[in-house]
Amino acid sequence: MNRFSTFNRFKGLLSKRTNGIGIELAPERVNLAQLRKQGQGYKVTTMFSKEVPEGIFQEGQIADSPALAEIIQEAIAESKLKVDRVATAVPMRDAVIRIIPIPAELDDQELRDMVLNHEAGLYLPYPREEVDLDYQKLGFFVDEDGIEKVQVLLVATRREVTDTYLDTFQQAGLHVDVLEINSFAMIRTIREQLRQFAPQEAAVLIDLEFDSTEIAIIVDGVPQFNRTVPIGTFQLQNALSRAMNLPTSRNTELLQGMTIPNTPVDGIRTGATGINPGMAALLRVLGELADELRRSIDFYLNQSDNLEVAQLLLAGPGGGIGQLDDFFTQRLSLPTTKVDPVSALSLEIDEDIPAVQRPGLGTVLGLGLREV
């Protein structure tokens, strides 16, 4: 049985499930979200976050499953939830996502056999028997030889990664209903926003997480390219702390209160900015991230005909940093906006969620939607 539940182009995404929650496992915290249908929209009934101490994750991977299971149990107890089913996600860095062309005349069984037993091996960097994978049919097209084909979205992770996530939740006494890729959960929350783009327009999702930034280039609602850059809020905070002679900390709340100044790029490079050393150090690391983004975008566009990037979408816990959207707009000459899943989904919430925190809720709310 395939253990993935893949993104399927906006259709049938909100499959009926009961008594479940979305749980996002991140190196610095566990996030929980429970939603329920209300009229034409959704209401957030529970939103909760619990800190994860150092050592539970190492280099983005779960390193201490029993301790993480205990944190999950505590988070559920503290949020006063009574649930036994969850939707969760593995980081995009642990996934292989490919779109492959398959002859259109194959029936469903023949297509399944070709994708899983033949084509998958051509696109995977590790042996087929070491991965869990799933696929989703997308649209039809006619290739340059006039042959009708169907595009298939192939998603895979190493089985040891999948097993670690499933085992962690099993130790917490929970059954995993849905295991997907975190960028797919994020896409679910902004699907209406993505629909505004034409088929030849790409949106670049920049998910600025704790110890990395995940970049996904999305065309027609489907991630076509993904890359992970080892710069996250922890690296930004460390640069800031070192420059200001403060101790390093896993708590990145200091960043949440920062506002990136509108400083000319040349000024940052020469140091003639008139800003304090902490902000200068922060801008240097953000400049490195912008350069990596530019490389990723150029690499993808060089392989794509008649495609243009229409928008950068900032998400993740670092996506809400003040005026970060203006920084990327200026640095990359591409319009940049912050993701706001609360507004995008017209969610009803009992307590207002500050704008700075909203970009970091895309994944957990997308997972919560799977359990409505």
**Is there a domain that residue 147 lies in?**
yes
Which of 26, 87, 81, 83 shows the shortest CA–CA distance to 48?
81
270 lies in the same domain as 221: yes
Q: Are residues 255 and 132 in the same domain?
A: no
Helices within 307-372 (DSSP H only): 324-332, 341-344, 362-370
Q: Higher confidence at residue 41 or residue 309?
A: 309
pLDDT-based confidence at residue 268 (cuts at 50, 70, 90): very low
User: Of 3, 352, 324, 364, nearest to 159 (Cα)?
Assistant: 3
For 7, the token pair is: 């993104």
Q: Are residues 150 and 206 in the same domain?
A: no
Residues 207 and 140 in one domain: no
Q: Is residue 278 in a domain?
A: yes
**Is residue 235 domain-resident?**
yes
Give the other-Cβ count within 10 Å of 128's Cβ: 13
Number of domains in the chain: 2
- Residue 115 per-residue DSSP state: I
pLDDT of residue 273: 53
Distance from the Cα of residue 200 to its chain's centroid: 22
Does 217 lie in the same domain as 146? no
Tokens 């939707």 belong to which residue? 87
Compute the distance between CA of residue 99 and CA of residue 327 in angstroms, rounded to an integer: 32
Span 64-85, pLDDT tens digits: 999 999 999 999 999 999 999 9
Range of the domain at 140: 95-157
How much of the chain exceeds pLDDT 90, in percent?
Answer: 62
Q: State which amino acid sits at residue 140.
A: F
- Confirm if 22 and 32 have CB atoms less than 8 A apart: yes
CB burial string 173-189: b at 16+ within 10 A, e below: ebebbbbbbbbbbbbbb
Within a domain: 172: no
Give the 3-state secondary structure of residue 150: strand
pLDDT-derived band at 17 (thresholds 50, 70, 90) equals very low
Decide if 255 contacts 241 (C-beta within 8 A): no
Q: Do residues 176 and 86 make contact, with C-beta atoms less than 8 angstroms apart?
A: yes
**Does residue 126 share a domain with residue 245?**
no
Same domain, 215 and 307: yes
Q: How confident is the model at residue 125 (pLDDT cuts 50, 70, 90)?
A: confident
Q: Which CATH number covers residue 99?
A: 3.30.1490.300
Residue 272 makes CB contacts below 8 A (sequence gap 6+) with none
Distances, alpha carbon 86 to alpha carbons 20, 45, 52, in Å: 5, 15, 19
24 is a domain residue: no
Of 200, 218, 193, nearest in space to 297 by CA: 218
- Residue 211 sits in a domain whose CATH number is 3.30.420.40
pLDDT at 1 (0 to 100):
36
Q: Minimum mean pLDDT among 9-13, 208-212, 297-301: which range? A: 9-13
For residue 173, is it within any domain? no
What are 84-110's pLDDT values in tens digits? 999 999 999 898 898 889 988 889 899
| Residue 124 near residue 131 (C-beta atoms within 8 A) | yes
Q: What local confidence, expressed as pLDDT, does residue 228 receive? A: 95
Q: Is residue 185 part of a domain?
A: no
Judged against a pLDDT cut of 80, whether residue 12 lies above it is answered with no
Give the residue-averaged pLDDT of 257-273: 64
pLDDT in tens, 168-223: 999 999 999 999 999 999 999 999 999 999 989 999 999 999 999 999 999 989 99
Domain boundary pick from 131, 157, 183: 157
Q: Is residue 6 domain-resident? A: no
Q: What is the mean pLDDT of the chain?
A: 88
Tell me the backbone φ, ψ of residue 365, rounded to 5 degrees.
Answer: -70, -35
Are residues 150 and 252 part of one domain?
Answer: no
Is there a single domain that holds both residue 221 and residue 317?
yes
Same domain for 304 and 215, yes or no, is: yes
Q: What are the tens digits of pLDDT across the range 269-287?
A: 444 456 789 899 999 999 9
Residue 352 CA: distances (Å) to CA of 167, 227, 308, 343: 35, 33, 36, 11
Residue position matching structure tokens 């895309």? 362
Q: Are residues 246 and 141 in the same domain?
A: no
Domain match, 222 and 286 both: yes
* Dihedral angle sign, alpha carbons of residues 242, 243, 246, 251: negative
